[in-house]
A and B are shown apart, each in its own frame.
Chain A
């Protein structure tokens, strides 16, 4: 499942991070790593971007960026 397909208040485990070089590395540097747990706090009122909680802090990503991230164990 893609991170962009998750619903609000769901938790999941990150399986794979795709995308091109710089953006991909930036995402990793912000702590979105394979194996980390990620929580979807909410979608913006216009459904884009997404607010996530990772490693105890809040981060936002655009839906198109979140679509590069594959997750499993969605709860």
Chain B
């Protein structure tokens, strides 16, 4: 039997408990993606209930349907264009007056709408009594009480929604939302004008269209004109006449007057349906805020929370990271035993498994980080963090919420860039994403340690600190530069609600965490895999290198000669000779590896690029190391190890000695550190940038900009330093 399908859209203010209700309705059967063309999360879920197949769409939380923000445009367009069977407007019952602003706008669109008075328990405990029957009668809308976090009233809500969807829609006889006489006159005159003049009927109800035209709504205007054809000019004229009249009459823009009147209308409803019995009781949330945003302890507590999040993400995350690393190694090793030695095996082990491994290894970090962020968001602390940090971030031209992604950048840029999702404004988000890579991530630290340790000895710590500081300064400079050029415009106005603190629900935290981590695995895994395979091909081919020395036969010769020596040697010297043999063989294997790297495509590219790197004091070996660093910055050190033919031991002293004797100068080392700090982010980060900006162009821009900046800064250091020294 085919079940009947219905689509239900959930709308409501941010912090109205919409997501909780969505989670309760759909459980884990959710599909999370992005709305087309933008990076606003789109959530969808399917439920089979009461004999229906219900598709539930979680619209972005908005305060209004005025198309100022992407969220509002998405929510409104969805209701207008996709025409869901029912819209459920979730209203925070303890915040009725402001919530009704959005509700009255849904009422005006003439879609089938249903009100859920959520957090009914909170409202009751605050002494608010809401007359649902009266509210339902006044606005001609079914009203249901719900308590989202206790899963109460949700079934009734769905039942009512189905009932409403199945009822035949009647155009309300009486207009429920009324404006003052002059405005109503303009609306009805414009409405009949539209009814008469447009050849093709306007896709939306004409009263609503008239209202939007009077409000000078750019999007509606464009759509009406595209339908109106020749009559466009006449419609525009007519609208202008009415707008001019109203401006003259009220001495203010009609949209402002109408906003005011909507609230006036709401005030009338509130008077009839809401009775506040008890006086304001002790407000726990306000008391918490007395501490958390306190003038003196607010910042220290904030720093502590961030520190704790950092610790959890990177210290606690290090254990599972290690296990995953060991697991990948184990798989790789056991496959190495099983498979015959051929090109496919190399491809599988060094390309595919190494590539997948480099993605999966971030998973613990990502999971923990998103769990922490979900706690911040669900409790309401995130908006307090923005409240505290806004002044500082505003100086760079950013919103208070940009602070968290930037800080996370010191750990790993991948989760940091994903954390920029919490920013509402697209421009703010892009700017944050562009400057976050300058926060020196933990994978770059080994490179600094090796270089600074080798060339600056006791002053290494100061030098490394300086590098970190340079990253911060350049991110500020970049932020200001882009804010006044590419991403021009003020940062989003700080009209931000500080919602009451709420205890987070584990279920919702876990869903939040998993949804976002899934995006990381799915979408970025592919790009990183391809990238790793490409880098593998570049470093593994050409296969038939003509070595300057026949290493294999040289190795077997040496083995043979030493083995012969061992035979004749004295019992006590046997071990010593054996060690000597192994050392010599290892030396040869290393030389072979270095030569293989040098003669691979990667090596050729490195040599071709050498002239580019020469002015910044980096030789061809350094440039190959930097190239391989594109996969992951950790690799820079290991590639240098191979190329400078140092021992592959854990301790970096050998590499440092090799570097010192390679002709690199302290100035060159400093230039290289600066280059590593700034140049294009690693593959995983680039994939994250592509994903989170939703555009290939911004990804390329970020790569090009950072690399050019890196070269420029390194050039200044190397050449400027040379002038200063001599």
Contact = CB atoms under 8 A, between A and B. Distances in A.
Interface of A: 21-31, 33-34, 41-42, 44-49, 51, 55-62, 65
B494 A31 contact: no
Contacts of A60: 383, 387, 494-498
A45 B68 contact: no
Contacts of A24: 256
A33 B392 CA distance: 29
Q: Which bucket holds chain B's interface residue count? A: 35 or more
B391 A30 contact: no
Contacts, number: 100
17 contacts: A24-B256, A27-B495, A28-B256, A28-B263, A29-B63, A29-B64, A30-B495, A33-B263, A44-B387, A45-B299, A45-B388, A46-B392, A48-B394, A57-B95, A61-B494, A61-B495, A62-B394
B582 interface: no
Given A28-B256, A33-B260, A33-B263, A65 B97 contact: no
B98 interface: yes
B337 interface: no
Contacts of B392: 46
Nearest to B494: A62
A24 B260 CA distance: 12
Contact of A47 (B94, B391, B498): B391
A34 B493 CA distance: 20
Q: Which 3 interchain pairs have the tightest Cβ spacing? A: A46-B391, A58-B498, A62-B494
B721 to A, nearest CB: 38
Interface string B367-404: 00000000000000001000110111010000000000
A62 to B, nearest CB: 4
Contacts of B712: none
Interface in B46-85: 63-64, 66, 68
B255 interface: yes
Contacts of A22: 68
Contacts of B500: 58
Given A25-B255, A33-B260, A58 B497 contact: yes
B295 A45 contact: yes
A29 B95 contact: no
B294 interface: yes
B325 interface: no
Residue of A26, A27, A29, A49 with most chain B CB atoms under a 10 A cut-off = A29
A23 B489 CA distance: 13
B169 to A, nearest CB: 28
A60 to B, nearest CB: 5
Contacts of A34: 260
Nearest to A58: B498
B298 A26 contact: no
B499 interface: yes
A56 B256 contact: no
A45 B293 contact: yes
A15 to B, nearest CB: 14
